Structure 1
Amino acid sequence: MVRGMGVKVRPDDAEKARRRLKEQGALSSSRKARREGGGVVFPVKDGDIDLGPIPFELVEAEFEELKGKDAFERFLEKQGCSLSSYDVIGDIAILEIPEGMEVYEREIARVLLDSKRHVKAVFKKSSAVEGEERVRRYEWLAGEDRTETAHREHGCIFRLDISKVFFSPRLSFERQRIMEQVRDGEVIVDMFAGVGPYSIVIARHRDAKVTGYDINEAAIRYFAENIRINKVGHRVTAVHGDCRELAPEGVADRVIMNLPKSGKEFLETALDTLKPEGGVIHYYGVSPRAAPYKDEARHIQEKAKEMDKKVEITGKRIVRSYSPGEVHVAIDVKVMP
């Protein structure tokens, strides 16, 4: 069984939904649909779903893997390669080549390009995410030699350059999850907005005012372009700079802190940014796999006490694996005066 994103529909709508998902190229061919909670859940590749009049819900679920393998999977099996997954951002595939398989990396990339019609370029990661601007170095392997693309998700389009900005398609469910908690009329601060995926997904689906900050100038340029493309200029503002210096105090109903490696350093700013009557903070961190929430929750409680505020942890989840011994966690925090 593998965990992934799914679309849940009523049983009466299942066949119509399946056909629409297949027509859009959104249906995962490697996983089996399942029945769950009075509905049918179809495995999908990402969150950019349009089922027209068919009501649906985006969920995370466990899916059974189908036995059939495509040409890319068969090639990996033949080479004995343990490549477990890869990211696709727009039409660019990004590989993480296992140690010892570098000799096959160009061939792996060419087979992937040939077997996945929607992929036009293949790169491999050549560094970790680095620096304040959160960028990673990549090496071209196959296809078109370009790093700019347009990624579709939750009915939105995001233009970006993978070599200049941070963007993770693996956070698609998180963006959906937070958007669903937002109520019309809220004021929201997105402290590390990047090219705007959290801010714009919220603004496309909720009548809320969102201000997003980022220290990466290229990210803010793309953020501004994505605001225009998605027609949310009346709801979203992109600001270049350090949120600790620029975010106003006492204005927000909700704060998003998508900076897992060093979010602790910004928690005081997040608490100050909320309205005097309190609000919600969506906090992200990187924690030991053996005790995924302990240290982060303790830090939140201690900082709130230091600032004479009351907090309640209302939700927590493991977002994804971060390293062999660490996980990326999300913690939802209700702040009270």
Structure 2
Amino acid sequence: MAAGRLRRFGGLLTSDSGAPGSTPANATRVLCLECPKSLAARVIPLCRGLGLLSPRFRIGRMGGNVLIPLTRRPDVRERKAVEGLTALRLTYAVLEKKRRRPEDLIEALGDELPPHLLACVPRSFDIVGDIAVMKIPEELEPHRFDIGRALLEVLSPGVRVVLRKASPVAGVYRTMGVEWLAGERRTETVHKEFGCAYRLDLAKVYFSPRLATERMRVASQVGPGETVVNMFAGVGCFSIMMARHARPAKVYSIDVNPVAVEYAKENVALNRVEGVVVPILGDAREVVGTRLRDVADRVVMQLPEGAYGFLDAAVTALKPRGGTVHYYDFVDQDELSGRRLEVLGRLEELGWRGKVLLERRVSQVAPRRYEAVFDIEVTAP
């Protein structure tokens, strides 16, 4: 070896010299076993089995030889084992330390943010496919790209993109504002749950991974041969889940967002439920009034910010004898029973009887505020 020279191989720095100033910040002078590259595939496992291979440093190379970092000098028995494969040549080399993946976001940001800001770092985030979505508190916005890169480091390789939720879900199309923070520059992904796959663009359609269990719960109630009207279907998640895990005759999957309906069509093919799930573009009230009167055994109303105003359309879709309505709404912590009475009162005004079979909080959307579901058996008077 040429003394005192540093070389880079695969991002590694190696040297047989301990000269001052020759060691980078992320490297250390380490005892190594030097062996020909052609023998490395046999020598490295042997060193690992003997407990000689150091897990703290990357394996380097100098010229045509491999530098294997050791935990200690081999004893007599270990020397004989190594010499059975290659000549025992010990040397010192400057090798890069292996970077350990941080356990969580706080650890990843420990050297980048002061303690008073670390205390504000969000502990929760959503994962949609291979995209992580997080809210950034106002006081951390100047550091949002550092936080995004740190989260990507913690969650990789499963997560390849980090987005910031820049604005809440709003508008007729129920989209949220997103900002790219780290990773690949895209907002489209494929999300998988319970054997179903959904392609979607988080910047253009509504989707919540937090409803996965709820989607499966509703699907498990669908009986063989039922006709279902999903009034606010988005990219088809509830509809496809029902088609894959139950045996409905038809699931009419309505949404007013044209991008969501195009994704729904793609997802129907992706999940092989053609002929069962029927994506329909349009306003739910108009579609029901013109095409889907008196057809449904079951209606899904997953529009918590506005489902109450569509109860008339929901009962119009039901068969004359009635059926089941899955009604979603936002409620404060103590108003679940009050909202139940309000919904049942509205059904009575519309000329139907309602009996709540189940009511529960589905997810928390803000402090003391929840998305709730009411499973209602609706019958003709």
Superposition TM-score tier, normalisation by shorter sequence: 0.7 to 0.9
Q: 1:306: how far off? A: 1.2
How do 1:57-72 and structure 2 match up within 5 A?
70-72=103-105
Deviation at 1:74, TM superposition (A): 2.3
Who is 1:301 aligned against? Answer: 344
Q: Is the 8 A contact 1:76 1:83 kept in 2?
A: no
Residue of structure 1 in register with 2:327 after alignment: 283
Structure 1 residue 81 displacement after superposition: 2.8
Give the AA of the match of 2:360. Answer: R
Which residue of the partner structure matches residue 107 of structure 2? 74
State the AA in 1 paired with 2:108. Answer: F
Inter-CA distance 185–75: structure 2 relative to 1 (3 Å threshold): same
Report if the CA contact (8 A) 2:227-2:251 is conserved.
yes
Instruction: Give the distance between the partners of 1:82 and 1:298, measured in 2 at CA.
Output: 40
Question: Aligned runs of 1:210-225 on 2, under 5 Å?
Answer: 210-225=251-266
* Match 1:198 to one of 222, 238, 258: 238
Letter in 2 for 1:260: P
Q: Which of residues 272, 286, 291 in structure 2 aligns to 1:231?
A: 272
Q: Structure 1 residues 318-327 or 156-165, which shifts more?
A: 318-327
Query: For residues 262-298 of structure 1, what are the alpha-carbon distances to aligned partners after superposition, in whole Å with 9 as ceiling and x for unaligned?
Result: 1111011101111111110000000111223412x12
The alpha-carbon deviation at position 205 of structure 1 amounts to: 1.3
Q: RMSD between aligned alpha carbons?
A: 1.4
1:104 aligns with 2:143: yes
1:257 matches 2:298 = no
Structure 1-normalised TM-score? 0.77
| Structure 1 contact 86–94 (Cα < 8 Å) conserved | yes
Distance 1:75 1:81, change over 3 A: farther
SS in 1 for 2:309: helix
Counterpart Cα distance in 2 of 1:232 and 1:87: 27
Work out the CA distance in 1 between the residues paired with 2:199 and 2:345: 39
Q: Report the CA distance between 1:237 and its aligned residue.
A: 0.2
Contact 2:109 2:150 in 1 (8 A): no
Q: Matched residue pairs, number?
A: 268
Q: Does structure 2 retain, via aligned residues, the 8 Å contact 1:260–1:286?
A: yes
8 A Cα contact 2:108 2:154, kept in partner? no
What fraction of aligned residue pairs are identical, expressed as a percent? 40
Pair 1:257–1:76, CA change in 2 (3 A)? farther
More relative contact order, 1 or 2 (CA 8 Å, 6+ apart): 1
Give, in whole Å, the separation in 1 of the partners of 2:204 and 2:218. 26
Structure 2 residue aligned with 1:318: 361
- In 1, the alpha carbon distance for the partners of 2:343 and 2:320 equals 18
Distance change in 2, residues 1:103/1:300 (3 Å): same
Matching residue's letter, 1:324: P
Contact persistence 1:287–1:293 (CA under 8 A): no
CA distance in structure 2 between the partners assigned to 1:134 and 1:193 by the alignment: 11
Of stretches 298-307 and 277-286 in structure 1, the one that deviates more from structure 2 is 298-307
Residue by residue over 1:201-254, the C-alpha shift from the partner in whole angstroms, topping out at 9 and shown as x without a partner, is 110111111001000000000000000110000211000001101122111000
Query: Which residues of 2 match residues 261-276 of structure 1 at below 5 A?
Result: 261-276=305-320
**Shift of residue 319 of structure 1?**
0.8
Match of 1:169 in 2: 209
Q: Which residue of 2 is the match for residue 51 of structure 1?
A: none
Identify which of 234, 246, 270 aligns with 2:287.
246
For the pair shown, the structure with the greater C-alpha radius of gyration is: 2
Corresponding residue for 1:89? 128
- State the distance in 2 between where 1:76 and 1:189 align: 47
The answer as to whether partners of 1:97 and 1:105 remain within 8 angstroms in 2 is yes
Partner of 1:330: 373
Corresponding residue for residue 83 of structure 2: none
Point out 4+ residue stretches in structure 1 off by more than 4 angstroms. none
- TM-aligned CA deviation for residue 321 of structure 1: 1.1
Alignment-mate amino acid for residue 104 of structure 1: H
Separation in structure 2 between the aligned mates of residue 233 and residue 299 of structure 1, nearest angstrom = 38
Distance across 1 between alignment mates of 2:350 and 2:363: 31
Shift of 1:258: 0.3
